[in-house]
């Protein structure tokens, strides 16, 4: 039986797994979204800086106010997914209840768990889970983090502008060298960016305010096909010492062939054995 190269299997899983395609997009979110009247997203900010074909920095900020007990349960434990190629360098979190006294989240209030505990294939997919203290209706939960991405194939690349709760402010900023081939697509009516180019760097910035919640219905299309979103397409990625051209399927095919061509060439021993096989 032909073995699938591990690096190819990694890319296939990456393209198929929802962890990198929709929903969290490597941004933290509630594991059990609450109904629209249980919370409000006050602010969400995503800053991505591409440094090279193989490195990027990600900075994220989320401020959510819970309005009910159900909202406190749903948003009191946000998860930050990560992988060997994505290093979490800093996490900051606090809860400001209606009393106004800010409660900082300590290190022991952040657990390190498997993202898919029942699936060995995803054993390297993990998450840091923040457990906010003393969350009550009216609490403002704030958290932010920094990530060092060591493989641009794992760069957050889907940023939805509509959630299952109202959102006051959502911003996305992407900065990258002008020589780097990055494509950004606005889907389902998402806004176009403000673009600035200066000193060899390009900055794209999206900002939206006072967004209504996305109302889900039984039998509706997948949320990824309905919610306005920005999708980022890094078209050149360094992986395993090779440079992948992701601008077309031809580039992926060339990379695939570079992985398997030696495996498909029979060794002298195999050739000798094959020549000695007598036809039936």
The answer to whether residue 257 is domain-embedded is yes
Convert 173-228 into a string of H (helix), E (strand) and C (coil).
Answer: EEEEECCCCEEEEEECCCCCCEEEEECCEEEEEEEEEEECCCCCCCCCCCHHHCCC
Residues in contact with 71: Cβ distance below 8 Å, sequence separation at least 6, in sequence order: 34, 38, 39, 137
Q: Is residue 105 part of a domain?
A: yes
Residue 121 placed within a domain: yes
CA pair distance 14, 153, nearest whole angstrom: 8
Domain assignment present for 18:
no
Distance between CA atoms of residues 109 and 102, nearest Å: 15
**The two three-digit tokens of residue 35, written as one number:** 């109904």
Helix or strand run (H / E) with residue 8: helix 6-16
Residue 161 lies inside a defined structural domain of this protein: yes
Q: What is d(CA 226, CA 213) in angstroms, rounded to the nearest whole number?
A: 12
Query: Could you tell me if residue 133 is inside a domain?
Result: yes
Give pLDDT tens digits along the chain (280 positions). Answer: 444 444 444 554 454 444 443 333 334 444 445 566 899 999 999 999 999 999 999 999 999 999 999 999 999 999 999 999 999 999 999 999 999 999 999 999 999 999 888 888 888 899 999 999 999 999 999 999 999 999 998 999 899 998 889 999 999 999 999 999 999 999 988 999 999 999 999 999 999 999 999 888 889 888 888 889 999 999 999 988 888 899 889 998 998 888 888 888 888 888 888 888 877 6
Q: How far apart are the first and last CA of the chain?
A: 22
Q: What is the pLDDT of residue 29?
A: 43
CATH number where 254 lies: 2.60.40.3140
Residue 3 lies in a domain: no
Domain that holds residue 138: 23-275
Question: At 101, phi and psi to the nearest 5?
Answer: -85, 115
Paired strand residues for 93:
143
Q: 53 in a domain, yes or no?
A: yes
Q: Considering its fold, how many domains does the chain have in total?
A: 1
Q: Where would I find the beta strands (DSSP E) of the chain?
A: 39-50, 56-66, 79-82, 86-96, 103-104, 110-114, 126-130, 140-149, 158-160, 167-177, 182-187, 194-198, 201-211, 229-234, 236-239, 242-245
Q: Could you give the CA distance from residue 132 to residue 109 in angstroms, rounded to a whole number?
A: 7
């Amino acid at each position: 039986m032909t073995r699938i190269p591990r690096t190819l299997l990694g890319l296939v899983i990456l393209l198929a797994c929802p962890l990198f395609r929709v929903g969290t997009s490597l941004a933290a979110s509630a594991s059990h979204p609450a109904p629209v009247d249980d919370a409000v997203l006050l602010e969400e900010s995503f800053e991505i800086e591409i440094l090279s074909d193989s490195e990027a920095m990600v900075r994220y900020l989320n401020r959510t106010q819970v309005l009910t007990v159900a909202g406190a349960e749903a948003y009191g434990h946000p998860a930050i997914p990560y992988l060997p190629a994505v290093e979490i360098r800093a996490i900051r979190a606090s809860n400001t209840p209606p009393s106004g006294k800010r409660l900082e989240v300590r290190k022991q209030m952040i657990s390190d768990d498997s993202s898919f505990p029942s699936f060995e294939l995803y054993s390297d997919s993990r998450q840091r889970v923040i457990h906010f203290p003393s969350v009550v209706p009216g609490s403002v939960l704030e958290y932010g983090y920094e990530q060092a991405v060591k493989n641009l194939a794992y760069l957050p690349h889907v940023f939805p502008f509509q959630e299952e709760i109202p959102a006051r402010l959502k911003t996305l900023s992407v900065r990258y060298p002008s020589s780097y081939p990055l494509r950004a697509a606005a889907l389902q009516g998402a806004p176009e960016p403000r673009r600035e180019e200066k000193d060899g760097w390009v900055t794209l910035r999206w900002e939206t305010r006072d967004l209504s919640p996305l109302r889900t219905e039984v039998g509706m299309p997948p949320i990824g096909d309905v919610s306005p979103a920005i999708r980022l397409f890094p078209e050149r990625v360094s992986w395993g010492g090779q440079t992948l051209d992701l601008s077309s399927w031809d580039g992926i095919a060339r990379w695939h062939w570079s992985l398997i061509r030696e495996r498909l060439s029979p060794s002298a021993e195999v050739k000798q054995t094959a020549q000695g096989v007598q036809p039936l």
